[in-house]
Amino acid sequence: MNRLRTILFTTFFFALSIPIVVTVPVSALFGRRAVIRHAHVWAQMHRLLYRYIMGVRVRVEGQRPEGTYFFAAKHQAMFETLELQLLLGGPAMVIKRELSRIPFWGWAAMRYGGIIADREASAGALRSMMRAAKALKAEGRSILIYPEGTRVVPGDQPPLQSGFAGLYRTLGLPVVPIALDSGLAWPKQGPNRPGVVTIRIGEPIPPGLPRDAIEARVHAAINALEEYRVVQAPPAA
């Protein structure tokens, strides 16, 4: 049953995504805010499909603070890349360079407010990332990063990538850490399955802390749900 649910979800998601993505240029004629609203239609569609086809529900612990913040989230599935855009009010998002090169989608992501992170971490790439983040902050946008750098399976707690500390120092914004366990319902391998995804929004951490201190606090906060969950995938139906 889980495999059938996953096939149905994937089929509907990609079929409905194509017309949404290819019409981004029309929204782009009216500015970035129109592109953000357009993208949120995509995220709302994703929300309806995961609820009514996959049987996934979201439990939110904590509240999104009002204002401009630097959000740092755990990353276990594609699920949160869309869901957090709705939950956090449309922050600009740090994305891998490879994603920005996807035909058409990459262009749309940059119009939305994508900030390119280069895995090679060259000095020029880091400066470009900082400039892009500062420009979006100047527009009043919050910034979202997945500071561990890549999607991980539940239970994995890799160290934070260096770009997080650089952005923290450059932006001068409070950091709001976000823990989640989407990988339990949305595993990297095998079919998705029904369940409850918990998203825990932490308390803001002030700017200006030393690198070791901010990295330790954020790492602990985004991995808070890992401390008491036993990761054991049930057999697929």
| pLDDT confidence of residue 228 | 47
| pLDDT confidence of residue 121 | 61
| pLDDT confidence of residue 103 | 78
Q: pLDDT grade, residue 101 (50/70/90)?
A: confident
- Measured between alpha carbons, how far is 119 from 138 in angstroms, rounded to an integer? 25
Averaged over 89-115, what is the pLDDT? 86
Residue 12 CB: number of other CB atoms within 10 A? 15
Averaged over 59-68, what is the pLDDT? 95
| pLDDT confidence of residue 70 | 98
Q: Could you tell me which residue, 169 or 106, shows the higher pLDDT?
A: 169
- Measured between alpha carbons, how far is 234 from 141 in angstroms, rounded to an integer? 40
Contact 99, 109 (CB under 8 A): yes
* Residue 200, helix vs strand vs coil: strand
- Domains, in order of start, for the chain: 57-227 (3.40.1130.10)
What is the length of the chain? 237
pTM of the model: 0.90
| pLDDT confidence of residue 236 | 42
Record the tokens describing residue 54, joined without a space.
């996959």
Residues 6+ apart with CB under 8 A from 78: 151, 186
Residue 161 CB: number of other CB atoms within 10 A? 19
| pLDDT confidence of residue 230 | 43
| pLDDT confidence of residue 209 | 98
- Measured between alpha carbons, how far is 196 from 80 in angstroms, rounded to an integer? 13
- Measured between alpha carbons, how far is 176 from 217 in angstroms, rounded to an integer? 11
β-sheet bridge partners, residue 166: none
